[in-house]
Amino acid sequence: MLYTNHEVRIRFSDEVSLTRAWLDDDPVRAQRVLANYHGTHPVCTCVPRGVQMHIVRRGGAFYLATMPGRAHHHALSCPYHIPHPSTDASLHYADAALSRASGLVRLSVYPDPLKHPPFPHFSFSAALEYLWQLAGLNIFMPDMTPRPGLSVAAHTLQSISDRIRINDRHFIPHFPPAPRADRRFTHVIGVIRSLSLTRYGYRVALAGDGEKCTYWINEATWRRCQLFSVPTLFADPLPARYVIMARLWRSPKGFWNLFDPGLLEVNPQMLPVTEHTRSLVNELTQAKRKFFVVPQLDSSHHPATLPAAVLLDTDQPAPLYARVGLPAVSRVRAVASD
Ligand SMILES: [Zn+2]
């Protein structure tokens, strides 16, 4: 799923469906098509069940437009997607932390402790989570094919990486297998296979097609990032899936060293989860026909007022909170009965 997917098809009638790219290619041709279908409701197929749109006429020209209150129903990757306040993570960050201008996404990322929103910068883990969101990996759609995975994130992030700046530097991501020494990468992103403490620091093995890809993190770096609070990381086998993103540096001796690591726990569908939201998110993925987004939440700085998930196949986004005490199943049914 690309962040902006211009190949998404618009269905004008049972026989006619055209891509956004095709319409953009030739404005005269597009005007002819839109005039022809004026008064009908074309369907954007960015999500499996489709999103109804309409054609408006302004100043003699025809435009394809989202229906009122439906812009957030489009996939994050769709050109017609407009975030709703309840699902828009950027609202929790100050302008200095996150800016989007001139086609660039700029993130400020530092380890200093955060207190409450608006956050002046991202933590390393929150930055990873924001990139996850850019890759569309926080939206769950039933019937999603291909199933989301690290390869989807890799493909999307690589295709938009030239538009991302982290602390004013280009973002050049690498995904395991092991990086090639002659290539310049700034960050590595991978799923942790194992983690162990040795006399040389932490040895991190990342999943990469069975290839051996070992990275090193020194103890001081690890402590600075306050990642010690995740004891389960040292279990064998790991009880959950963790994605790690870190700055990459190759030592003169040829070791791949990692700095500024951020962690993201994900469920088998690669959706971000935390200790508090895990059961609700897992339950939603198992419930049939649920279409929802997991808003960005860095588990260590997440205000309790943010929803754990937001249902999107409702007239207005329906926030779900991971409250304790009430069985999650009845909560989901109550909000999403359809
Ligand atoms: Zn769409």
Distance CA 30, CA 33 (A): 5
For the chain, the domains span: 9-73, 170-266
Give residue 46 CA to ligand 1 midpoint distance, Å: 4
- What pairs with residue 165 in β-bridges? 106, 170
Return the pLDDT at 194: 86
Give residue 76 CA to ligand 1 midpoint distance, Å: 8
Give residue 14 CA to ligand 1 midpoint distance, Å: 17
> Which two tokens mark 111?
């380890």
Give residue 50 CA to ligand 1 midpoint distance, Å: 7
Give residue 311 CA to ligand 1 midpoint distance, Å: 16
- Residue 145 CA, distance from chain mean position: 16
Return the pLDDT at 224: 75
Return the pLDDT at 39: 94
Give residue 48 CA to ligand 1 midpoint distance, Å: 10
Give residue 45 CA to ligand 1 midpoint distance, Å: 6
Return the pLDDT at 268: 82
Per-residue pLDDT of the chain (338 residues; tens, 9 = 90+): 334 566 778 999 888 999 888 998 999 999 999 999 999 999 998 776 778 999 999 989 999 999 887 887 777 667 788 777 766 777 788 999 998 787 788 999 998 877 777 889 998 988 998 888 877 788 777 766 556 678 878 887 887 888 899 999 999 999 988 888 888 999 999 999 888 889 988 999 998 766 778 999 988 888 777 665 566 677 777 777 889 999 999 999 999 999 999 988 888 888 888 877 888 888 888 876 677 888 765 545 555 567 788 887 776 677 888 764 444 444 444 444 33
Is 132 in contact with 153 (CB distance < 8 Å)? yes
DSSP string, 235-288: SSS-SSEEEEEEEEEE-TTS-EEEEEEEEEEE-TT--B--TTTHHHHHHHHHST
* Strand, coil or helix: 39: coil
Distance CA 307, CA 322 (A): 7
Return the pLDDT at 136: 73
Give residue 118 CA to ligand 1 midpoint distance, Å: 30
Return the pLDDT at 311: 83
Name the residue among 259, 15, 287 with its Cα closest to residue 140: 287
Distance CA 84, CA 316 (A): 9
What's the fold here for domain 170-266?
OB fold (Dihydrolipoamide Acetyltransferase, E2P) (2.40.50)
Return the pLDDT at 331: 42
Give residue 81 CA to ligand 1 midpoint distance, Å: 6
